[in-house]
Structure 1
Amino acid sequence: MKLGFIGYGKSTNRYHMPFVEASGQFDIVGFYTRGSKSFEMPYQAKAEPQRFDDIEQLLKSDVEAISVTTPPSTHYQFAKQCILAGKHVIVEKPFCNTLAEAKELYQLAEQHKVKITPYQNRRYDSDFLTIKKILQRQDLGKVMEIESNHTHYRPDGADNQGDKYAGSVYGHAVHFIDQVVSLYGEPDSIIYDVCNQKNFYIGEGLTYSDTVPEDYYDIKLIYGNLRIRVRHSQLIVKHPPRWIINGTEATVEKYDIDQQERDLKQGIFLDSPTFGHDTPESLCKIHFKNRIEEVPADYQHYTQFYNDFKDWVDGKRLSPPVEKNEALVVMHILETIANKAAYVPLNLQD
């Protein structure tokens, strides 16, 4: 498949190019970027892709699919251009800013007989895949609650400014809400708490507002009696387990998020046999009443997203990497929080 990129910065070169090239199923036609193509990234493509002077040149080439990896505020505009040009589209997270934009993109894609999907690469995280497999076990008893923690200590950027789409909910929670929605579908309701911690505690003392985006969120997705907590803070010195599952017969703990990003930052690539592997301390443990079981990680690479996308376009796979209704539910949750509104389920029908 002939693939092109709109955007050619850190996102393309860290989260896309290594995995596209590892797939071996794509011919990278080239890219368009408004920037200088300058980024801090040790990865070098096997062959330097062609740079197109404008989007129209790229869209008029023999490219079949486009990955949109530009800043989020431009996703809707660029994805729409690609669809109208008859190209299949992969759109980096967040898919776009609003549910209405997302619905329009899907409608246009159907009208123009092309495929579109958001790039939710963290569905292929080893920690998530391991937890997903564990949730299928019967010996946990009845699962009562799940915690998905994404915390770290990163005090820089206390003076960040931006609109309601520029905070951690659209930038980070989108991944982890998507993981939950992929498992359980649309929640019955959500309870959320968002604020700005870094500016308030170590910056100028400003609180979350229309110009100071949130950098903390605590979101609870409710499915009947099941409670799933998705949490993020950038001022936690000692991070909690990445995952906690409490069942009536066992508790599951998994420390540390998937390590593919860490390795890429360090210049460790997919040709390393230990690429993306956990440290021994990070292995998932199930605490039963009278024993502890260590669970090997389920490793996949983000390459699988692109393989699944190609199989879907080629008709070898019935479903996309991210189902349309799942993408719309995630978009609805994000928009609800951004608008500080009460959550009303979409109740989408297949």
Structure 2
Amino acid sequence: MKKLNIAYVGFGKSTNRYHIPFVRTRDTFNISRVYVRSLGKNPIEQAALEATGTIFSTNIHDIINDATIDLVVVVTPATTHFDLARQLLTAGKNVLLDKPAVEKRSEMQELINIAKEKNLFFMPYQNRRFDSDYLTVKHILETGYLGRIIDVELHMDHYRPSDEIQNGRQIDGAFYGHGVHLVDQMIALFGVPDRVTYDIRATRNPASSLDDQFEVGLFYADNMKATVQATEMAMTSYPKWVIKGSRGSYIKYNMDQQENDLKAYILPGDSGFGKDAPQDFGKLVYLNQSGDRIEKYIPSITGDYGRVYDAVYDTLVNGAEKLVTDTQMLAVIATLENGFTAQQML
């Protein structure tokens, strides 16, 4: 089996929590190089990789000039993504870009154009396409239990109160930070919406210019609506998913467990990693072909963020279609950007 050489740009929490632990469970990748602005910021993690042959450097040109690198993964602050990705693509490198990938649709289009011109791979790291709850919902929709879908609600809620005034660029706010996941999941399930409505606000401290709450409606054919919502002020839990269809409903509390496990130092490959407990399974209520009302709990399909890397490998080695298509990439960023350019922020 061909093994691909990866280089990471950035070596902070996200690289060490959401990327490297999953790559280490696969024999299809070798972590060849890491670019950091300063060495020794995460000394234990750095030493562990150096012990297996990974080379650390403070010069990004060490990656650019290394012809053995098959894929560069950019995991840096969102405001740096566009310039770094453009530099790497222009230099002839395949790029997997952490999310939110960019701030503007025009930036995404430019990166796509460079990749096409140079016959390179370019894609955002939409790891939440492999959340357990998302995979389970996708399976339920494909089975047709619910009939024609009427309404979908998808939440990403927390309780993180703060009186501080939060200012920054739009890409630093909740709609870009959380919305990039939720909007992508809706577009992956249902396609590009016909129209979108926005409610984007700063609620923890109304004097902030940076949003921390949103409720966005995506409207589709046959009067279907998908609502994506996130807040930092939800002290009591709300269902992660609520789906209503012409023949049934589905409700699921609690989000995918991978992030919680990673924070608790339970790693991919450990027993029980990412698995829902039975009490966290979603409830499906539907009418069967005889018209009988059926209620049952659906075991969650175990998630695995590393499947993004599997998809990248399949594209680079076997020529498979990208997990996230160019059309989807553009639609997600356009949906995020339009929430502000349309001046819908309240």
Per the TM superposition, whether the score is higher than 0.5 is: yes
The within-5 A match list for 1:293-308 is: 293-308=296-311
Alignment length, in residue pairs?
A: 332
Specify the alignment match of 2:341 in structure 1.
Answer: 339
| SS at 2:137 equivalent | helix
The within-5 A match list for 1:187-226 is: 187-200=193-206, 206=207, 208=208, 212-224=209-221, 225-226=223-224
Equivalent-residue separation in structure 2 for 1:199 and 1:71 (angstroms): 23
The answer to whether the aligner puts 1:329 opposite 2:331 as a matched pair is: yes
Specify the alignment match of 2:32 in structure 1.
Answer: 29
The answer to whether the aligner puts 1:232 opposite 2:230 as a matched pair is: yes
For the Cα contact (< 8 Å) 2:256–2:303, is it kept in 1? no
Deviations 1:34-71 (A, max 9, x none): 25653699998565532112111121122121000011
Deviations 1:157-185 (A, max 9, x none): 74322122211011110001000101111
Between 1:329-338 and 1:134-143, the stretch displaced more is 134-143
Q: Which amino acid is 1:221 matched to? A: L
Specify the alignment match of 1:264 in structure 2.
Answer: 262
- Give the drift of 1:111: 1.3
The within-5 A match list for 1:1-350 is: 1-35=4-38, 38=41, 45=48, 47-48=50-51, 49-61=54-66, 62-156=68-162, 158-200=164-206, 206=207, 208=208, 212-224=209-221, 225-288=223-286, 290-314=293-317, 316-341=318-343
Equivalent-residue separation in structure 2 for 1:60 and 1:114 (angstroms): 16
Between 1:43-52 and 1:169-178, the stretch displaced more is 43-52
What value does the CA root-mean-square deviation take over the aligned residues?
Answer: 2.0
| SS at 1:333 equivalent | helix
Deviations 1:226-262 (A, max 9, x none): 0000000111111111000011221100111111111
- Give the drift of 1:332: 0.5
**Cα separation, partners in 2 of 1:54 and 1:155, compared to 1, 3 Å:** same
| SS at 2:178 equivalent | helix
Q: Which amino acid is 1:111 matched to? A: E
- Give the drift of 1:341: 4.6
For the Cα contact (< 8 Å) 1:155–1:198, is it kept in 2? yes
Point out where structure 2 has 5 or more consecutive residues left out of the alignment.
Answer: 288-292
Q: Which runs of 4+ in 1 moved over 6 A?
A: 40-44
- Give the drift of 1:154: 1.2
- Give the drift of 1:273: 2.1
Equivalent-residue separation in structure 1 for 2:57 and 2:8 (angstroms): 10
- Give the drift of 1:74: 0.8
For the Cα contact (< 8 Å) 1:4–1:30, is it kept in 2? yes
For the Cα contact (< 8 Å) 2:162–2:205, is it kept in 1? no
Sequence identity percentage: 32
Between 1:111-120 and 1:55-64, the stretch displaced more is 55-64
Equivalent-residue separation in structure 1 for 2:50 and 2:21 (angstroms): 12
**Cα separation, partners in 2 of 1:165 and 1:300, compared to 1, 3 Å:** closer
- Give the drift of 1:22: 1.1
Between 1:295-304 and 1:70-79, the stretch displaced more is 295-304
For the Cα contact (< 8 Å) 1:94–1:170, is it kept in 2? yes
| SS at 1:22 equivalent | coil
Equivalent-residue separation in structure 2 for 1:52 and 1:76 (angstroms): 21
Equivalent-residue separation in structure 1 for 2:105 and 2:195 (angstroms): 17
| SS at 1:161 equivalent | coil
Equivalent-residue separation in structure 2 for 1:56 and 1:13 (angstroms): 22
TM-score, normalised via structure 1 length = 0.90
Point out where structure 1 has 5 or more consecutive residues left out of the alignment.
Answer: 201-205, 343-350
Q: Which amino acid is 1:53 matched to? A: T
